[in-house]
Structure 1
Amino acid sequence: MRPRDVGRARLYAAERLVHRMFDRAGSSRTAQLAGAEITLPSEARFASVDSVRDYVSRVLAMPTVRARFPRTTAPVAVRERRGFTSAEYRTSSAGEAQIAIPSSADGRWALRELVVLHELAHHLDDSDDPAHGRGFAVTLIDLVGLVMGPEAGLVYRVMFGDSDVL
């Protein structure tokens, strides 16, 4: 059993800053970060849970992701989640890993690449840290960097560092 997840609120607050930075990047995709101007990659938006399922499969099959994370060989199901307030990762009593994504009109906020990568990072995190602890944060930074590019990974690293997540 993992220790109590005391860093969750701090990590979520830092992630909201990252999401806002991506949302405000505009057509030039540029943003100021730690005194430097960087170009952010475009973030995928998904039309359905089926498209999220396909994306997760493709990410888990990426050679760079497979080389970095041993848990890519463990299957993870993607399903629709009732409600709209949160996406979640969990392991069922039978040991099946699941990512649940809301897709109702009010839950469309979760059909974005950064949210999906957050949930997938839970699956790939093999540390004994709390669910949103340092091990998870490092896993998320590495995953975002491998999938979306080093600039996106840098944004997470700086925001997490400035927010005392790391």
Structure 2
Amino acid sequence: MARDAQRSKVYAAEQFVRTMFDRAAQHHSRAIDFFGTPLTLPPEARFSSVDSVQRYVDDVLAMPAVRDRWGPVAALAVRARRGSTAAHYEISDGAATIAVPEQTSRWALRELVLLHEISHHLSTAEPAHGPEFTATFVALAEVVMGPEVGHVLRVVYAKEGVR
């Protein structure tokens, strides 16, 4: 297994992007100045339960653009994760699952976090947060949320030194 050397940089970049979305929502304006460029962020979906997350994951994997790019994709289950503040992707006995902390933390029940976890399902390369993963996440965010999100991720990844 390859060392996941840029994991902390990926997490820092993605936290910055989530904060941008949070601030845009707090100010009720999706129009932002992104490093000197005017940009309008799309709304970010939020979820209230494991069931709503499962429906979203199923819908994303069924999108024609996702199927065209990544081909037929194996099922991806969603389960509640107790006692934790992070979402994660796991494979156990050949079954892929996203675990989300439904009760202890609502931050994981948001579109950007779920797309990150779905990207692990679409990119099986090692290391887990390496260049293939980040390219997959950017492409998936573009397909699902729009090209503005892909642009924001690419720029913030570059500023954090993520490949």
- TM-score, normalised to structure 2, is 0.95
Structure 1: distance between partners of 2:158 and 2:109: 26
Structure 2: distance between partners of 1:69 and 1:23: 30
Structure 1: distance between partners of 2:132 and 2:120: 10
Structure 1: distance between partners of 2:131 and 2:43: 26
1:161 and 2:140 aligned: no
Structure 2: distance between partners of 1:11 and 1:149: 20
Query: For residues 87-109 of structure 1, what are the alpha-carbon distances to aligned partners after superposition, in whole Å with 9 as ceiling and x for unaligned?
Result: 000110x21101001111x3111
Tell me if structure 2 keeps the 8 A contact 1:84–1:103: no
Number of residues of Structure 1 aligned to a counterpart in Structure 2: 161
Question: How far is the alpha carbon of 1:34 from its aligned partner?
Answer: 2.9
Tell me if structure 2 keeps the 8 A contact 1:7–1:133: yes
Question: How far is the alpha carbon of 1:69 from its aligned partner?
Answer: 1.3
Residue aligning to 1:10 = 9
Structure 2: distance between partners of 1:132 and 1:73: 20
Q: Which amino acid aligns with 1:95?
A: G
Tell me if structure 2 keeps the 8 A contact 1:11–1:132: yes
1:31 and 2:32 aligned: yes
**Partner secondary structure for residue 39 of structure 2:** strand
Residue aligning to 1:108 = 106
**Partner secondary structure for residue 162 of structure 1:** helix
Query: For residues 117-163 of structure 1, what are the alpha-carbon distances to aligned partners after superposition, in whole Å with 9 as ceiling and x for unaligned?
Result: 1110000014x330011111000000001000000111111101111
Q: Which amino acid aligns with 1:148?
A: M
Structural RMSD (CA): 1.1
- TM-score, normalised to structure 1, is 0.93
Question: How far is the alpha carbon of 1:79 from its aligned partner?
Answer: 0.6
Structure 2: distance between partners of 1:158 and 1:129: 23
Tell me if structure 2 keeps the 8 A contact 1:34–1:158: no
Structure 2: distance between partners of 1:27 and 1:84: 30
Unpaired segments ≥5 residues, structure 2:
none
1:144 and 2:145 aligned: no
Runs of 4+ aligned residues of structure 1 deviating over 4 Å after TM superposition are none
